[in-house]
């Protein structure tokens, strides 16, 4: 890594640390009904929505009612998205005249966007009409993130409230998260991205006559407005097939930096929303520090191995140079730069599937961020990462998308791990576990473990079944890497990430239906149990926090929490990882090819 790389990393974490606490407090305030400078403009819209829908914004929902609203709203959104996709051929705003996708692709895509996964079994610019992109998909980018924020807020209230029946009002949480949090950030962010060269037009394409006389058709579209919410909402679904690697979807290294910040911004801020609600900023900083630590380790690992590249690359770049072949005599040539060794270099940056304007580090950092958060946008092709680079991306997702994680889902997933940590620590020292004065009992632990195990089942189950069933014929790569492609697909789906080892051909009924099932289990198999836990915690009477209470801030707790996250993730998935990236790394070092 170069000094510039370290500087970019430090700047990234610095900006995130500065921006998150005030934004977290702002989110807490608006979701609890506080006024902002946006209210004169958007307040009437908010009230209109409540009036038209018959919502009483003062009503408090029990966890059951809250969950029912989440499911009802999600179902309505699913119908909208599925309907628009199935009829995009006859609906307006289809300048390229695309046909409707197959029913299983439309189903998969609707589930994918509803669950904040944005797994894409299609190539955007060659499949989706502008209407599908703008209504079916961008709509879900907003509301699936807002649902995450709402449920997160409900869980936060569960922790913060005392002897309460309710967790807040789902409809006001949802509408306020959209209008006062996501929308203003998106307008500002989209224009910042256009200033870097991102396109934003309702035209479909333009034609160029190149200097060599060839014709090039260049696809464009309303990209910036969709890309900013795909990042802020940790959605990840690209406008173009190449996602954030496409020059129109990520024109410069600065737009890349903005997008990376946008991915982590809300998950990071929500940690401080929790801190504000429970009035314990040090607890928030401890949790944030754990997230930042695991993130840093991943970023440095991926960067290291991508800079080292592969033996096949080293051979290729050295091929034909003086050390490996004899140069024709008498040819005058400029001397090779002194800094370049003439023999086979020991490490060659892995530029396969990466863009020159980003280089190794901005690609490695992006890959870490997009898999830590459940974003899934990519600016480099993960299928072409080195084995250890791919391993880190897989592990980041398998930890449960809680290292900042998805918008909202990252924090309520982290609360799950906090509860487990407090419980395990309580067992170790033989004391009744409590979290911020709330006693942790069998009900909380049972449902937390359910939320932990549910995503693992489709992840490991479908990976295994596909490997002996519908998987092999869809692979782009042979050997251990082929297995990694399947493992990555079901990890990404089950953890609601959405990135892919893109070589795998996933637009088939078998893949579309199984990944859709995995996405639903991964989303609601965590969300609903956490609402149960929140409802249970809200009803508890808190005990006063004394010196004898288990501290949930400071170094000891950070270490315990990190250990629980790593151990639980490692024990669950290590066997599968051994068959994929770990074996492949050893094979690569032996020079084996498949």
Chain positions 230 to 289 lying near other proteins, rule: CB under 8 A, are 240-242, 245-248, 251-254, 256-257
- Residue from 36, 62, 102, 195 touching other proteins (CB under 8 A): that is 195
- Residue from 22, 34, 99, 341 touching other proteins (CB under 8 A): that is 341
In the complex, least distance from residue 403 CB atom to other proteins, rounded to whole angstroms: 23
According to the binding rule CB under 8 A, does residue 508 interact with other proteins? no
Q: How many CA atoms lie within 13 A of 563 on its CB side?
A: 10
According to the binding rule CB under 8 A, does residue 114 interact with other proteins? no
The runs of H, that is alpha helices, within 87-125 are: 103-114
Q: Nearest-5° angle of CA 426, CA 432, CA 433?
A: 55
According to the binding rule CB under 8 A, does residue 333 interact with other proteins? yes
According to the binding rule CB under 8 A, does residue 369 interact with other proteins? no
In the complex, least distance from residue 138 CB atom to other proteins, rounded to whole angstroms: 6
According to the binding rule CB under 8 A, does residue 362 interact with other proteins? yes
- Residue from 355, 372, 434, 444 touching other proteins (CB under 8 A): that is 355
Contact (CB, 8 A) for 542 and 162? yes
According to the binding rule CB under 8 A, does residue 6 interact with other proteins? no
According to the binding rule CB under 8 A, does residue 14 interact with other proteins? no
Separation of alpha carbons 584 and 592, rounded Å: 9
Contact (CB, 8 A) for 447 and 529? yes
Segment interacting with other proteins, rule: CB under 8 A, options 18-26, 357-365, 415-423, 512-520: 357-365
Cα separation of the two ends of the chain: 30
Site string for other proteins, 476-505 (x = CB under 8 A): xxxxxx--x----------------xxx--
Helix/strand/coil for 216? strand
According to the binding rule CB under 8 A, does residue 41 interact with other proteins? no
Separation of alpha carbons 107 and 32, rounded Å: 35
Residues 394-423 that bind other proteins (CB under 8 A): none
Residues 547-576 that bind other proteins (CB under 8 A): none
Residues 509-528 that bind other proteins (CB under 8 A): none
Q: How many CA atoms lie within 13 A of 209 on its CB side?
A: 1
Cβ proximity to other proteins: between 399 and 520 the closer is 520
Helix/strand/coil for 374? coil
According to the binding rule CB under 8 A, does residue 381 interact with other proteins? yes
Residues 432-451 that bind other proteins (CB under 8 A): none
Segment interacting with other proteins, rule: CB under 8 A, options 106-114, 158-166, 349-357, 452-460: 349-357
Contact (CB, 8 A) for 243 and 258? no
3 state SS for 46-74: HHHHHHHHCCCCCCCCCHHHHHHHHHHHH
Burial of 414 (0-12, 13-18, 19+ CB in 10 A): buried
Residues 45-64 that bind other proteins (CB under 8 A): 45, 48-49, 52-55
Beta strands in 126-285 (DSSP E): 205-209, 215-219
The runs of H, that is alpha helices, within 182-222 are: 183-194
- Residue from 18, 41, 162, 327 touching other proteins (CB under 8 A): that is 327
In the complex, least distance from residue 129 CB atom to other proteins, rounded to whole angstroms: 13
Give the interface size with other proteins as a residue count (CB under 8 A).
145
């Amino acid at each position: 890594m170069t000094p510039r790389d370290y500087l970019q990393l430090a700047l990234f974490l610095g900006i995130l640390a500065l921006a998150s606490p005030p934004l977290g407090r702002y989110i807490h305030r608006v979701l609890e009904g506080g006024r902002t400078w946006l209210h004169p403009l958007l307040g009437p819209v908010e009230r209109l929505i409540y009036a038209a829908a018959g919502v009483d914004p003062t009503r408090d929902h029990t966890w059951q009612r809250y969950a029912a609203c989440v499911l009802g709203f999600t179902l309505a959104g699913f119908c909208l998205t599925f309907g628009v996709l199935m009829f995009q051929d006859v609906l307006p705003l289809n300048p390229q005249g695309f046909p409707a996708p197959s029913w299983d692709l439309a189903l998969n895509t609707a589930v994918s966007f509803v669950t904040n996964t944005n797994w894409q079994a299609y190539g955007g610019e060659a499949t989706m009409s502008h209407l599908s992109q703008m209504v079916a998909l961008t709509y879900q980018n907003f509301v699936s993130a807002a649902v995450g924020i709402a449920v997160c807020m409900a869980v936060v209230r569960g922790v913060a409230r005392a002897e309460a029946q309710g967790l807040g009002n789902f409809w006001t949480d949802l509408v306020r998260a959209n209008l006062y949090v996501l929308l203003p950030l998106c307008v500002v962010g989209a224009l910042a991205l256009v200033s870097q060269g991102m396109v934003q037009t309702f035209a479909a394409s333009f034609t160029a006559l190149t200097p060599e006389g060839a014709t090039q058709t260049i696809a464009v579209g309303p990209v910036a407005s969709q890309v900013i919410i795909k990042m802020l909402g940790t959605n990840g679904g690209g406008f173009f097939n190449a996602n954030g690697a496409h020059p129109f979807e990520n024109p410069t290294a600065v737009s890349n930096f903005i997008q990376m910040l946008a991915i982590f911004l809300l998950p990071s801020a929500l940690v401080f929303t929790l801190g504000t609600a429970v009035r314990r900023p040090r607890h928030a900083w401890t949790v944030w520090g754990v997230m930042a630590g695991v993130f840093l380790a991943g970023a440095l690992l991926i960067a290291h191995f991508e800079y080292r590249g592969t033996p096949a690359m080293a051979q290729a770049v050295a091929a034909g140079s003086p050390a490996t072949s004899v140069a024709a005599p008498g040819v005058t040539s400029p001397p090779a730069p002194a800094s370049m060794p003439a023999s086979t270099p020991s490490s060659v940056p892995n530029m396969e599937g990466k863009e020159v304007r980003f280089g190794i580090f901005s690609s490695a950092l992006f890959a870490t961020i997009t898999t830590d958060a459940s974003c899934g946008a990519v600016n480099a092709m993960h299928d072409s990462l080195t084995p250890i680079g791919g391993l880190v991306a897989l592990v980041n997702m398998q930890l449960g998308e809680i290292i900042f994680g998805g918008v909202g889902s990252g924090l309520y997933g982290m609360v799950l791990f906090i509860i487990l940590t407090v419980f395990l620590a309580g067992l170790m020292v033989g004391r009744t576990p409590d979290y911020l004065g709330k006693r942790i009992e069998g009900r909380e632990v049972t449902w937390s473990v359910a939320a932990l195990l549910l995503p693992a089942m489709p992840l490991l189950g479908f990976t295994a079944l596909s490997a002996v069933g519908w998987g092999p014929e869809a692979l782009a790569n042979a050997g251990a890497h082929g297995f990694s492609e399947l493992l990555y697909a079901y990890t990404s789906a089950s953890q609601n990430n959405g990135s892919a080892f893109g070589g795998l051909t996933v637009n088939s009924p078998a893949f579309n239906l199984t990944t859709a099932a995995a996405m639903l289990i991964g989303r609601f198999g965590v969300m609903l149990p956490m609402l149960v836990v929140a409802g249970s915690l809200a009803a508890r009477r808190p005990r006063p926090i004394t010196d004898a209470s288990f501290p949930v801030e400071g170094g000891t707790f950070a270490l315990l929490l990190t250990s629980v996250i790593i151990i639980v993730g490692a024990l669950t998935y290590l066997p599968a990882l051994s068959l994929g990236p770990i074996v492949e790394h050893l094979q690569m070092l032996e020079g084996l090819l498949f």
